[in-house]
Structures are given as C-alpha cells and as structure tokens.
C-alpha cells in the first residue's frame, strides 16, 4: 500500500500487526490463519482463503475506531457508536 496515512497507534499480536490511523481507520497485516484480520464473510473463502498478507489492508470499513489491541490469535477494536440518539 503506497502513501500510508498518519498512524496514531500500532498493536502487535503473535503473528499479525494492526495500525490505527489518525482518521480512525484500521490497517492490518500478517497472519490471518485464525481470521484475526477479517471475519468469515470477507476472507475465509474455502477456494482461496487469505492466510497471510504482507501489505497493510483496511479493516472495518463502517466504524470510527477509537482503540485497537492484538493478542496471539485475535484482534480487538473499540469503536465509536455512530447512532444518533435523541
């Protein structure tokens, strides 16, 4: 990925890493063997599963992320609620 945006936080898991951009987007790279970079609908296609990516890919296209964390085989994202409650 060329021209990476400004990064405000990096989290490192066992075999994957995450970056939180200043604008609240999450980028991830490394192992996806336990779907730590994705969920089943995105990358677990049984015909061509994404097991590893060495290029940062954007995760969570619909939420403003406030914080990230990565464990051995999992990732955690804290997001801002985008609902307006009156």
Domain count, the chain: 1
Instruction: Show the tokens assigned to 46.
Output: 């049984």
Residue 1 lies in a domain: no
pLDDT of residue 66: 92
- Please tell me whether residue 43 adopts helix, strand or coil conformation: helix
Q: Is 86 inside any structural domain?
A: no
Bridge partners, residue 29, by sequence: 17
For residue 80, the model assigns a pLDDT of: 79
User: Which stretches of the chain score pLDDT less than 50?
Assistant: none
pLDDT of residue 85: 59
Angle (nearest 5°) at CA 41 between 75 and 26: 35
Residue 2 lies in a domain: no
Kindly give, in sequence order, each residue whose CB lies less than 8 Å from that of residue 18, ignoring residues fewer than 6 positions away.
Answer: 10, 11, 12, 26, 27, 28, 59, 68, 70, 75
Q: Which domain holds residue 53?
A: 7-80
pLDDT confidence of residue 34? 85
């Amino acid at each position: 990925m060329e021209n990476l945006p400004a990064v405000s936080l990096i989290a490192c898991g066992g075999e994957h890493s995450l970056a939180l951009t200043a604008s609240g987007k999450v980028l991830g790279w490394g192992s996806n063997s336990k779907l730590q970079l994705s969920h089943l609908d995105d990358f677990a296609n049984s015909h061509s599963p994404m097991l590893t990516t060495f290029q940062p890919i954007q995760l969570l296209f619909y939420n403003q992320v406030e914080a990230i964390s990565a464990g051995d085989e999992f990732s955690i994202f804290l997001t801002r609620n985008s609902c307006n409650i009156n």
